[in-house]
Structure 1
Amino acid sequence: MTNTLEVRTADPEIVSTQPTDENETLSESLASICVVLVVWLFVMTFVFQNFEIPSASMEKTLLIGDHVIVNRISLAPLTSWARFMPYHEVHRGDIIVFLKPGEPDLFLVKRVIAIPGDRIHLHNGVVYLNGVAQNEPQAGMPEDDGDTQHASYPYRDDFPALPPTAYDEVTPQWAHDLPRYIQGGDLVVPPGKIFALGDNRTESLDGRFWGFVPRANIVGSPLFVYWSFQTPADQIDKQSPREQLRFIAHVLIHFFDETRWKRTLHVIR
């Protein structure tokens, strides 16, 4: 006696119209993978993003070769359609990632020193905020010990007491705009802008050299270091394909012995 189920599955019309369990499982798997990819792309595009620190401008807070995860949500400009997101205003002392004014493709990381309405000046490398000298243990200061790299530099260390010169690496636009923001020897931060400096004050090309950061340029704030590799200071200047491939090979060979394992998951403050 022929089994009825066997007859039905042998019928080509019935086989062609009824998907098998295997096909359903494959479709569900593909759908699940697509959902995961969409969520991952959303998170890495709009919530978190990874960046590499290429220069010494934030040492000792951030080292050359640190790879950091940046929170793109908390400092994002408030929008009417997403008021449920945990936004907050920029505060003094925040470390921020932003697009450099005048160079929309260049990301920088610096520390917020002053917010709109603040008055600021530097004297011998010390920041005076609204007339009060700031205690900044993380900041690298000029030294009069014969070390020309960290020696006193009048425009940089007594900003904005002296006008910039052709040797100060100041952008032409900032050299033109700077005088209008000086009142009584202080730089006054205008509405919608913040003033940011690198922690390594003697080596950082920061707001002293190109001006204020528009609030809209702020991308986010770094959360923690997820990987740190001992990277040469001049690696940022090696952009040819051959030099890039050589460094990638170096990383692969020395991944274990030149990774700074103690900085893994180091929280950034």
Structure 2
Amino acid sequence: MSTTASQPEETIAKQEDQTETPLESLASICVVLAIGLFVMTFVFQNFEIPSASMEKTLLIGDHVLVDRTSFAPPTKWAPFVHYRDIRRGDIIVFYKPNPETPDLFLVKRAIGIPGDRIHLHNGIVYLNGVAQNEPQAGKPADDGDPEHAFNAYRDDFPSVPPNPMEIGPGGITASWALDLPNHVQNGDLVVPPGMVFAMGDNRTESLDGRYWGFVPRQNIVGRPLFVYWSFETPADQINKTGLGDRLSFMGHILVHFFDETRWHRTFHITR
């Protein structure tokens, strides 16, 4: 009888022993946060599309999840991570190859890899002598475009030399204007070892490799996997860097989250 009577007390004691202490709970939370921080730092990264250079593939206000592992150098401590090199047509996220903006992330499409010969004629990309079918790419209207002469460098790259008026901030970098002739052979731009040539899909509105040169392989940090959230964002929002402007836009998001979110782009795969 005494043994039976003591069983509930033993059960209660065991249950009390299984209850986490505040220190154990804090340790569990720290482990979860550490794992989450590791994943978001070394495996995935959030990236917001700030400009129209990749339309129609990626829109201003698209928030994409970037895979940071596929293009990273293979390591012995993580043999399970799938690694591959850059392929033509990959959408890549990278640090802009410009010493004035070393921390600026850009997203473009890889057009050429080492050894490729590239030129544009009226906005059409010719890769190793073959015209590319790029339905996603925005191109000039036609040869009769009245602005074609002004944009000849952009549309017939690299056969037309840089216009001195276009060299400077917001245009062709002085270093690229000087270095460009060293990479042109028989009217083609030849991609050197260790480099990638990248352009935006919205070719007439993209400040890309035609204006600042090649992307060093080590500058490439990953590739966008999918859009996890997309919000209708004004094209000039990228230029509003003041604290007041940012707070105002955050308030706008809170008010219009439901009616200005592009719900149809949620989990849109980037390719």
TM-score bucket of the superposed structures, by smaller chain: 0.7 to 0.9
Question: Which range is displaced more, 90-99 or 138-147?
Answer: 138-147
Change (3 A) 1:146 1:188: closer
Q: 2:209 aligns with which of 207, 215, 219?
A: 207
Unaligned stretches of 5+ in structure 2? 1-15
The whole-number CA distance in structure 1 between the counterparts of 2:144 and 2:251 is 39
Matched, 1:56 2:58: no
Moved beyond 6 Å, runs of 4+: 145-152
Alignment-mate amino acid for residue 38 of structure 1: A
Is 2:54 the counterpart of 1:33? no
What's 1:229 paired with? 231
Counterparts in 2 of 1:179-218, with a 5 A limit?
179-218=181-220
Among the aligned pairs, what percent are the same residue? 71
8 A Cα contact 1:224 1:265, kept in partner: yes
- Aligned partners of 1:177, 1:52: CA distance in 2, in Å? 31
The answer to whether the Cα contact below 8 Å between 2:122 and 2:142 also exists between their aligned partners in 1 is no
Partners of 1:34 and 1:253 in 2: CA distance:
33
The answer to whether the Cα contact below 8 Å between 1:145 and 1:151 also exists between their aligned partners in 2 is: no
**Distance in 2 separating the partners of 1:69 and 1:149:** 37
Larger radius of gyration: 1
Within a 5 Å distance, the mapping from 1:127-146 to structure 2 comes to 127-144=125-142
What amino acid sits opposite 1:127 in the alignment? V
Residues 152 and 132 of structure 1: CA distance in aligned 2, closer, same or farther (over 3 Å): farther
Q: Take 1:28 and 1:55, find their aligned partners in 2: how far apart are those partners?
A: 46
The offset of 1:119, in angstroms, is 0.3
State the partner residue of 1:163. 161
Cα contact 2:229–2:266 (8 A) shared by 1:
yes
SS of alignment partner, residue 113 of structure 1: strand
- Structure 1 letter corresponding to 2:226: F
Inter-partner Cα distance in structure 2 for 1:78 and 1:150? 45
| Corresponding position: 1:220 with 2:222 | yes
**Which position in structure 2 is the counterpart of 1:85?**
81
Checking the alignment, whether the CA contact within 8 Å between 1:227 and 1:259 is kept in structure 2 is yes
Give the TM-score taking structure 1 as reference length: 0.88
Residue in 1 that maps onto 2:107? 109
How many angstroms does 1:34 deviate by? 1.1
Residue type of the alignment partner of 2:116: D
Over the residues paired in the alignment, what is the CA RMSD in angstroms?
2.0
Distance 2:146 2:267 in 1: 35
C-alpha separation in 1, matches of 2:73 and 2:18:
48
Aligned to 1:128, what secondary structure does the other structure show?
strand
Question: Which residue is equivalent to 2:179?
Answer: 177
Amino acid at match of 1:94: D
1:193 Cα deviation after fit = 0.2
Deviation at 1:180, TM superposition (A): 0.3
Q: Give 1:92 deviation, angstroms.
A: 0.3
Q: How many residues align?
A: 250
Distance 2:266 2:147 in 1: 30
Residues 136-178 of structure 1, C-alpha deviations (whole Å, 9 max, x = no match): 0000000149987899720000000011123331001100110
Counterpart for residue 72 of structure 2:
76
- Partner residue of 1:66 out of 37, 62, 66: 62
Deviation string 1:171-205 (CA, Å, 9 cap, x unpaired) is 01100110000001000000000000000000000
Could you tell me how far apart the structure 2 residues matched to 1:77 and 1:148 are? Answer: 47
Give me the whole-angstrom Cα distance separating, in 1, the residues matched to 2:259 and 2:157. 42
